């Protein structure tokens, strides 16, 4: 009876392994006009995300750095999903992704990112998937209630 779920889990692991081994959009981005640096000291992940935003649209996005398979795979997947979207859409995308990673609740519409639903069972790895920035947010954001914590994605896509 658990066959289907085993298959799905294998599929999801395959997505993460695949992106971890062969990250998409990896490298320097010429002419980037947004950037953010993510650092997870617990694991040693250090990733930089750069975006080229033109007329409110993410025209190109790349990341570089080094990290574990989960951090590289999540950055790789986010780059594939972020391209062509507006900055606001990228922030919404990250919000959904953060929800998946922290609660394990999958949302069909964001496809491959649901592969990270299993991460929620490993709290130590959540920071790998969500790539927190090194700089701290202004305290104002703390008072805005249940917001997703900032990540390199929300910071990089901010105008
Ligand atoms: Zn990691």
DSSP string, 50-63: EEEEETTEEEEEEE
pTM of the model: 0.81
Half-sphere exposure of 108 (CA within 13 A, CB side): 0
Residues in the chain: 159
Measured in Å, residue 92 CA sits from the centre of ligand 1 at 23
Instruction: Find tokens 């090194």 and name the residue.
Output: 134
Q: Write out the chain's pLDDT in tens, 159 residues.
A: 455 556 656 666 888 889 999 999 999 999 999 999 988 888 999 999 999 999 999 999 999 999 998 999 999 999 999 999 998 898 888 888 888 889 988 766 656 888 888 888 888 788 888 877 665 444 444 444 455 567 888 888 877
Interacting residues of 100 by C-beta distance below 8 A, sequence separation 6+: 106, 107, 110, 113, 114, 116, 117, 120
54 Cα to the center of ligand 1, angstroms: 31
pLDDT of residue 139: 46
Q: What pLDDT, on a 0 to 100 scale, did the predictor assign at position 61?
A: 96
* Distance of CA 51 from the midpoint of ligand 1 (Å): 22
* Residue pair 66/75 in contact by the 8 Å Cβ criterion: no
Q: Is the dihedral of CA 83, 89, 91, 97 positive or negative?
A: negative
CA distance 132 to 126: 10
User: What are the percentages of helix, strand and coil residues in the chain, rounded to 5?
Assistant: 55, 20, 30
- Give me 140's structure tokens: 């104002």
Q: How far is the CA of 78 from the centre of ligand 1 (A)?
A: 16
Tell me the two tokens of residue 146. Answer: 């249940």
């Amino acid at each position: 009876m658990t066959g289907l779920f085993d298959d799905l889990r294998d599929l999801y692991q395959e997505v993460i392994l695949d992106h971890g081994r062969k990250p998409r959009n990896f490298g320097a981005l010429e002419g980037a006009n947004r950037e953010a640096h993510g650092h997870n000291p617990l694991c040693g992940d250090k990733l930089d995300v750069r975006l080229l935003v033109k007329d409110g649209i993410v025209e190109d996005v790349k990341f570089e750095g080094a990290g574990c398979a989960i951090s590289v795979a999540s950055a790789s997947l986010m780059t594939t999903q972020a391209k062509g979207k507006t900055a606001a859409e990228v922030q919404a995308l990250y919000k959904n992704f953060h929800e998946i990673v922290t609660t394990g609740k999958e949302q069909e519409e964001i496809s491959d990112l649901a592969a990270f639903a299993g991460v929620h069972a490993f709290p130590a790895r959540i920071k790998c998937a969500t790539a927190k920035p090194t700089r701290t947010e202004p305290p104002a954001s703390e008072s805005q209630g249940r917001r997703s914590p900032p990540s390199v994605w929300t910071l990089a896509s901010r105008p």
